[in-house]
Amino acid sequence: MMLKENPSLCYQCAKCSTGCPVSKEMDLMPHQIIHLLSLGQRDRVLRSRTLWMCAGCYACAVRCPNDIDITTVMDELRSEAVEKGIPCPHPEVLEFHRNFLKDMSRRGKVHELRMMGEYNMRMRRPFHDAAVGAKMFIKGRLHLLPPSAVGGFSRWMKKLWRS
């Protein structure tokens, strides 16, 4: 699979890694991911924990002096790892992604309460973060009823799932 970004533009300044809020959880820093890609070590990258720790915050992409969109690279690599059947080192993260998309495809917006409830049931830990959820509910940040549907969005998502 061709990446949209060109990793050989990177000159290894590591600004991406120093700005990454979750770099401590990664086995390869974002600049190392880009370096390995430019060396053709794709398989090592696809098996990395880093792909599943990335929060998609775009801090790295904004900081890159060469305008390399590392966030999108991470997205593309995650999809490729799933397509190739490479075992995810953090199955709970993959499950969360799937649950999020499934919930989004219903109405075009996420119903957080239902999504987290279903996710916790799937992970067989129904009361995980229940105290946090209760606080958010009291503060009005979680809603019992699902949000109103975005016109046409759920149809578009279903089409995307099929392609």
Task: By CB under 6 A, name the binding residues for ligand SF4.
Answer: 10-16, 19-22, 30-31, 34, 54-60, 63-66, 68, 70-71, 74
Residue number, 26 or 111, with CB nearest to ligand SF4: 26
Q: Smallest gap, in angstroms, from Cβ of residue 76 to ligand SF4? A: 13
Q: Which residue, 38 or 105, is less far from ligand SF4 as judged by CB?
A: 38
At its nearest, how many Å lie between ligand SF4 and the CB of residue 9?
A: 7
> Cβ contacts of residue 104 below 8 Å, gap of 6+?
110, 157
**What's the min distance (Å) between Cβ of 70 and ligand SF4?**
5
Least distance between ligand SF4 and beta carbon 32 (Å): 9
Report whether 28 contacts 50 (CB < 8 A).
yes
* Sequence-ordered alpha helix ranges (H) in the chain: 15-18, 30-38, 42-46, 50-53, 59-63, 70-83, 91-107, 112-122, 130-138, 153-162
Residue 44 CB: number of other CB atoms within 10 A?
14
Question: Closer to ligand SF4 at the Cβ: 71 or 99?
Answer: 71
